[in-house]
A and B are shown apart, each in its own frame.
Chain A
Amino acid sequence: KAGVTQTPRYLIKTRGQQVTLSCSPISGHRSVSWYQQTPGQGLQFLFEYFSETQRNKGNFPGRFSGRQFSNSRSEMNVSTLELGDSALYLCASSSGQGVARGYTFGSGTRLTVV
């Protein structure tokens, strides 16, 4: 059974550009959450989606947005990139709503903003 797939694995962008990251959950999983991991702030929650609906949003500026498609695949977009957006972005999926059934994390997308 394939795990959570995040593409691309690595990305280098210039300040001011925008970026789109993709997450394909485990087959049959309908819940997807996104996290940002940085050395300074640690792991911080970005969004949670279930059946194409955003159920929860973390404390990030409006430059960070996301969506989920009917096949449960999810994308997140960051516009007007800043140097501080450099981070490992992790996606996690679950078969049910929320953490009760356990989240499986992908290996992440490493974004570097220069």
Chain B
Amino acid sequence: AQSVTQPDIHITVSEGASLELRCNYSYGATPYLFWYVQSPGQGLQLLLKYFSGDTLVQGIKGFEAEFKRSQSSFNLRKPSVHWSDAAEYFCAVAPSGNTGKLIFGQGTTLQVKP
């Protein structure tokens, strides 16, 4: 069965520091991969997605993610974190593009220290 693992439940970084959130997936083929962000009391906002092609994907708000097939990973990065980036981040996978079913990881809560 497909699964998504986000090893870090909670991460704290200082404002201005770099950030990397880890995501590992379990799936036979290359799935459709996503990163979403959720602020308290809000829905999910899509940061970026990967379907195929260039393994380094650029998203909104200065985020990027790199797909590594050999490691079954899709880690999210940002070179300099802002206080407004504090939120919960979810990695998700879909087996194909024509399904509406996303399988989410458990999420990583990001705290930003001033």
Mark contacts of A101-114 with chain B using CB atoms, 8 A cut-off: 1 yes-contact digit, 0 otherwise: 01111111000000
Residue tally, chain B, CB below 8 Å to A: 26
The yes or no answer to A63 lying at the interface (CB within 8 A) is no
The yes or no answer to B51 lying at the interface (CB within 8 A) is yes
The yes or no answer to B56 lying at the interface (CB within 8 A) is no
A103 touches B106 (CB 8 A): no
Cα distance, A36 to B94, chains bound together (Å): 17
B43 touches A98 (CB 8 A): no
CB-defined contacts of A97 to chain B, threshold 8 Å:
98, 100
Given contacts A33-B101, A48-B100, contact A99 B44 (CB under 8 A): no
A100 touches B41 (CB 8 A): no
Closest to B43 in A: A105
Q: How many A-B residue pairs have CB under 8 A?
A: 72
The yes or no answer to A87 lying at the interface (CB within 8 A) is no
The yes or no answer to A14 lying at the interface (CB within 8 A) is no
The yes or no answer to A12 lying at the interface (CB within 8 A) is no
Mark contacts of B13-33 with chain A using CB atoms, 8 A cut-off: 1 yes-contact digit, 0 otherwise: 000000000000000000010
Given contacts A42-B107, A103-B46, contact A94 B100 (CB under 8 A): yes
Show the binding face of A for B, using Cβ within 8 Å: 4, 31-33, 35, 42-45, 48, 50, 55-56, 58, 90, 92, 94, 97-100, 102-108
The 7 closest A-B pairs by CB, nearest first: A100-B97, A48-B100, A105-B43, A98-B98, A43-B104, A33-B100, A105-B44
